Structure 1
Amino acid sequence: MKEESRIFDLFKNLPTELKPIKKALQQKETDYNNLTDHEVELVQSIKERTKKNNINNITRTQAYLDFFKKYPDIEWAFLAHMVSRNAGWNMTDLKGSLLSRLMSKEQQEYFFAFLERSNWLIFQDAFPQLLLYEESLRKNQNYFYLLRQFGVSYFMKVMWDHYYQTRDSNLITVALIINEQNYIEDRVIQNKDYQATLLESLEFKLQEILQLNQILFPFSDGKEVKLIGQSVHQFASLKDRILLGKRLYQLLFDDEFFSDIYEMALKQPHSGSRKDYWPHIFNNINESPPDVPFQESLKACQLKPGANRLYSPTLEHAWKNVEQKPSEHGDWYSDWKVIHYLQKDPSKINGAIYEEYCESLEKIELAILAKGPMSK
């Protein structure tokens, strides 16, 4: 409530730098129906490139990183890369040695469908924006009027136009955070199919309590891999997801952590397995015989003597590629007051998450034991 009050108190005193954005958002969008041959070809090329890279979580995650390497001013691309790594880990957790013992195959498939749809939707909306920025730089011409050809919100046209003039990396990153969370709000979060099977289910609340509620940024200090991150609370709340995104952005690009996280991301390709960051705890090969009853493996994020590593499969071995139906039509933007989320929070973010993550793993093991001897 305190954070909500702080945001809406700002309605009374709009910062000067946001006033031109407010003015642009209040204007009606101009129609661009008569495209030139070059524009038609450009739109088609971007659609093809987006589809090619939107096959699965691995291809999306790599595409974000490749773009950031070329255009490091678009910081959202690296944030999207790291969050997408976490989405992949959550997908494979469903088939790993822990959650697979707590969830039925049907529940696993529901959760995967929820994660995959969200991951796919965000990419197919955001990647054309990134590619139009690339073309605008290449031709030294603003091409963001073509965003409507991809169903992108008018809000983002205004924000990209502003960025093209100001090169304010913080504003465009937070704008993309606002956009992506609003984009999936009606399409996934409030979608009745997912509401019925996931968000209102006991199982989804269980995952918030257990493992799917932490977003981790691994990095090496030269001796060991450490973790920083944030916990997800009230995932069904649009406001909380936007504020979480802003905290993650601030944490990821903190001078204390960014270079080490980026270096590890470059060195360690994303496979979907948690072995990517903690091979001493996780393995992408199942070390436990199938008929042996489950036993606790962990204490304070260390394997107990004689214990096998936890099974964390690669995405390739956990899930098949999914052919997604086209995104639902419609522009989420309706009220200029959403720009108050664009303002920076001056407080430093506490990214300590190691102990909480370790406790989550141990809680899951206890939940499996409580389920009884059938947990194999």
Structure 2
Amino acid sequence: MQQKKTPLPDSLLKIKKELKKKMKSPNVISDLTAEEQALIEKIKGITSFLNKNNVTRTKAYLDFYHRFPEIHWAFLGHMVSRNGGWNMTDLKGSFLSRLMTKREASAFFTFLERGNWLIFQDAFPQFLLYEESQKCGKNLFHLLPHFHISTFMEVIWNHFLQEKDPYTLMMALVINEQNYLEERVLKNPAFIKNVFNTFEFVLQEFLSMNHILFPFTEKGKIKLVGQTLDHFQSLHERILLGKRLYAVLCRDQERFIAVKKWADENPHTGSRKDYWPHLFNDVNEGVPGTLLKPSIRSCQLTKGSSKIYSPMLAFAWKNRIHEPAEIGDWFNDWKVVYYLAEDNENVDGEIKNDYCKTLERLELAATTKKTISLRDA
């Protein structure tokens, strides 16, 4: 997991120096004042309250971004979390419910939900510490170790308070969260056995889970931009995906404003109806036991076809109670600093055609399986 080593600008050389220092002298958790202890408990309480499910997390990211728009990752996290919710409800939707057993769907949901939960319980305390630092006018990031947050992020937040560099902070949060997930989710033996080693995971990665979509309205029509991830289990590729998603979302200011406007006007429910009500419905229009027939052509329904069922999260899955996050700091190599360097890669974000083909392939797979099962009945 190494980014190409291009020469670092002076600001990143400072970060490199601090990261090297941290590797030689890891943090020693200091004693807390009564005020600090109360603040930590307050932040943990707020984070736990907002970490109930994908809908509450996704809204919390957007609400925080409204308060602190300089924290770009909060909005990127909001949009990516929306996609996570759509992937969760797909498991109970028209197509995947026909391709997976209930047990397999539950395993996939557990995988998606655990990752979504873990990222929030790591990222949101950082945001709340930033908020408290702004309120009281002093740096409170020495408290990060009390939330088991990586040493890497203490260096980055200290840098941000001095330099006010939103891109470096955004990219550092991408690096942190993907490394954080690596050991706890991607290398978790239970997920490897029940998710990654199944045929259905290959199907999901090929057909559905690898699209990250950013909707927005242009001239009265909903448009989609985004990116596709081809190697989900590669930490390096997931970090580079974060970099590309930021480019798609933030480099074009008009597009960014349009995506944010769409997000503000369309509360996240988990249903894909949120962005394409012409194609999806959160009410199942299909008749149980009927033979499926192809109904999607270029992301439009054929005449007389029912809309694709895409339930709201609240009706698809119950809230889960999570085991506490595994403790441990992923940071052990200062060379991750090279990922922080901004590049000028041209990322246009075109994704609609690929996504439409994906829906057609997924429908074909579901139709074929349902047809075979009806003939065998």
TM-score, length-scaled by structure 1? 0.96
Deviation readout 1:301-333 (Å, 9 max, x if unpaired): 110000000100000000000000000010000
* Structure 1 residue matching 2:237: 3-state secondary structure: helix
Q: 1:181 and 1:341, CA in 2 relative to 1: closer, same or farther beyond 3 A?
A: same
1:320 and 1:179 map into 2 onto residues whose CA distance is 29
Query: Would you identify which runs of 4 or more consecutive aligned residues in structure 1 move more than 6 Å?
Result: none
- Residue 276 of structure 1 is matched in structure 2 by 274
Q: 2:143 matched to 1:155?
A: no
- Residue 190 of structure 2 is matched in structure 1 by 193
Q: 2:18 matched to 1:21?
A: no
Deviation readout 1:99-153 (Å, 9 max, x if unpaired): 1111111110011000000000000000000000000100110000000000000
2:372 and 2:117 map into 1 onto residues whose CA distance is 35
Report the more deviating stretch, 236-245 or 207-216.
Answer: 207-216
For residues 118-267 of structure 1, what are the structure 2 equivalents within 5 Å? Answer: 118-253=115-250, 254-267=252-265
2:306 and 2:370 map into 1 onto residues whose CA distance is 20
Question: In the alignment, is the contact (CA less than 8 A) between 2:61 and 2:78 conserved in 1?
Answer: yes
Deviation readout 1:12-40 (Å, 9 max, x if unpaired): x3332211111111222442421111100
For residues 1-376 of structure 1, what are the structure 2 equivalents within 5 Å? Answer: 7-10=3-6, 13-27=7-21, 28-253=25-250, 254-373=252-371
Counterpart AA for 1:356? D
Deviation readout 1:232-277 (Å, 9 max, x if unpaired): 1110000000000111011111224100000000000000000000
Counterpart AA for 1:355? N
Report the more deviating stretch, 363-372 or 224-233.
Answer: 363-372
* Structure 1 residue matching 2:57: 3-state secondary structure: helix
* Structure 2 residue matching 1:218: 3-state secondary structure: strand
Question: In the alignment, is the contact (CA less than 8 A) between 2:98 and 2:370 conserved in 1?
Answer: no
Unaligned runs of 5+ in 2: none
- CA apart distance, 1:375: 5.8
Question: In the alignment, is the contact (CA less than 8 A) between 2:27 and 2:151 conserved in 1?
Answer: no
Q: 1:375 and 1:309, CA in 2 relative to 1: closer, same or farther beyond 3 A?
A: farther
* Structure 1 residue matching 2:225: 3-state secondary structure: strand
Counterpart AA for 1:370? T
1:308 and 1:280 map into 2 onto residues whose CA distance is 10
Question: In the alignment, is the contact (CA less than 8 A) between 1:369 and 1:375 conserved in 2?
Answer: no
TM-score, length-scaled by structure 2? 0.96
Report the more deviating stretch, 247-256 or 70-79.
Answer: 247-256
Counterpart AA for 1:15? P
- CA apart distance, 1:211: 1.2
Report the more deviating stretch, 199-208 or 124-133.
Answer: 199-208
Question: In the alignment, is the contact (CA less than 8 A) between 1:64 and 1:81 conserved in 2?
Answer: yes
* Structure 2 residue matching 1:34: 3-state secondary structure: coil
- CA apart distance, 1:374: 5.2
Deviation readout 1:153-188 (Å, 9 max, x if unpaired): 000000000001111000000000000000000000
1:147 and 1:283 map into 2 onto residues whose CA distance is 43
Deviation readout 1:36-64 (Å, 9 max, x if unpaired): 11100100000000000000000000000
1:347 and 1:125 map into 2 onto residues whose CA distance is 29
* Structure 2 residue matching 1:373: 3-state secondary structure: helix
Question: In the alignment, is the contact (CA less than 8 A) between 1:294 and 1:375 conserved in 2?
Answer: no
Question: In the alignment, is the contact (CA less than 8 A) between 2:65 and 2:74 conserved in 1?
Answer: yes
Counterpart AA for 1:22? K
* Structure 1 residue matching 2:371: 3-state secondary structure: coil
Question: In the alignment, is the contact (CA less than 8 A) between 2:47 and 2:124 conserved in 1?
Answer: yes
- CA apart distance, 1:224: 1.0
Counterpart AA for 1:317? F
Counterpart AA for 2:48? K
Deviation readout 1:77-102 (Å, 9 max, x if unpaired): 00000000000000000000111111
Counterpart AA for 2:8? L
1:335 and 1:32 map into 2 onto residues whose CA distance is 21
Report the more deviating stretch, 200-209 or 239-248.
Answer: 200-209
